[in-house]
Structure 1
């Protein structure tokens, strides 16, 4: 079936691929992100009205931008303001349907920096990025984060109002500010990915729509900033981790842990692309370009991806990488994962030592620390303590699938302890 015979599908595909460039270009031309989104939405509505009758144009992205630009000209004429902008828009001409390609790419990157402005909260950055850069509807974002559509709509509206209030500039930041903002952009993409990979609440363990959107955003960012090893590291990381998704649930829909997964079900295409991004980042690192947390995490994920079987995993190399990561980007989550790596590489006692050095209040109220402690205790043969830790972790999670997994492991440890008591000589 040709694209022209599937206009609605073509519209959705075009919107997802072009919305960031479209809104970015319109923001540059109008200086108003809210107006730019309205104009882009008007163009989308026009496509929904015209393409089913006239067919999909040869350059659908150009058609959307031309339509939105004409709407902008009409609005400026009606308002009888910003005459210089009208002349500028008109001078671009009806014949030149798209700005030069370097402007288009820069506009998309500018938009990502704008939606991740430091004046916004991480939650607002994520919602606004998915809306304006990802092209998702408010309803899709709400379903992804298990929030009501009105609540997400208000979050997005407040974010745009906040950007206007702080007079956020559309120009790309430079120097130290650019580096800090780029880190904000990557953090938002990774936040979206993590929420999709292991949902913090709800019934489902994963939300693939969010995961796939984060991968698309990471790839887009890598295309726009191909000489940044951390950006390439992020793109590599999310693809390598996402490659495991087909094996993370069994046939009944229950979660399957990494070491028990059928690795033949891993997505080899994502692994191949993830390793290619990492190789490019490694080349830049060899040339002296600094790397950081995403590059190191991708290097860790690559160790898992390259192991054909769980027992082939090079845990000592992973532990060494976590030691470097802990020095480069210290934090409690890194320390917990470092405890796992040291427990696999050097024995359960070594992992527990890393975990015991963690601040007692770190990650309090979350299931991560007690679940890892339980796993290490189980490996150490301390079954009673392991069962109690698994039960504690189950009581802390807000995700039903994760709770079922933890309760199942607690029951398994309980049975193991019972068997050990029965087999013990009297």
Structure 2
């Protein structure tokens, strides 16, 4: 009896352990999903608040490049914030310089100096500053909701550039998403007519989305998959480039009276500081949120920023009534954005599942399962019967 009972106890213990592991994995997945949704809502609120502050600041102080430079300089704080969070959760403590050197290997392959860091981060800094500058120019001509919807099309441009430049896998669903994004852009431009001033704003928004896509594709080519440490180092170096290299552009625009303001004019520092803080919060949530939540759920924050910005335009800015064409365009762009968030191989799995369902594969599976259960029961009876006979004899 002891020999027969021991394996049974081990089997019961293994089954209990597997159930506990499955329950822990389920709870971990649920917690990660909830955190992703919360961070996505935070991304939407941060972007909507920053966009509203930017639009308000542009009305009082029409200097978009200076505002872009001011907000970009705040990105220097990204790596200190990341290092603080990493130190609180790390098992072994590491010096900030050593950890910075470890995360900045994609920028500087040799001895790390400030000059080499600036040289490696300069292309990223130019693209990010140009994207922000074009976005602020678009905000002067179109509403914040329209600008956010157009910026969501950057995901479609990322797929096209990655397919061409990085040789990513071709996916039919993402081609459909690209077509939907382009259709939404055309509808957005058609909302007020192709000869109105908003067509310029739509063109500037598309240029900002394309520049953002170039930044993301270049980051993937140099770094690979997005890692919190590398992203924080890159954004901190971008902020350093903004302070050191882009200051001359602000001075040049001021001297040429392209962005000129008299000395007596008051600069809205409070609104600009709020805008820079919210943009910094947005970058922290997007770049560092992947450590605790799913990046796909965090990316939904940009999609949620469309209704958030539209609500701010309607209730705070007293914007004009929303047209049905704009609502339809935003819905089309949102549908394309959601399709682009689907993982690779999703379409093949879905087509196989639909094909199996259409061919009645679920019935065959159930029949196979019943037959397997019957065979297992028969084998169990066949094995237990000789044991009983032997015991009686």
TM-score range, shorter chain: under 0.3
Greater helix content: 2
Greater length-normalized contact order (CA 8 Å, ≥ 6 residues apart): 2
Q: TM-score, normalised by structure 1?
A: 0.22
Higher Rg of the two aligned structures: 2
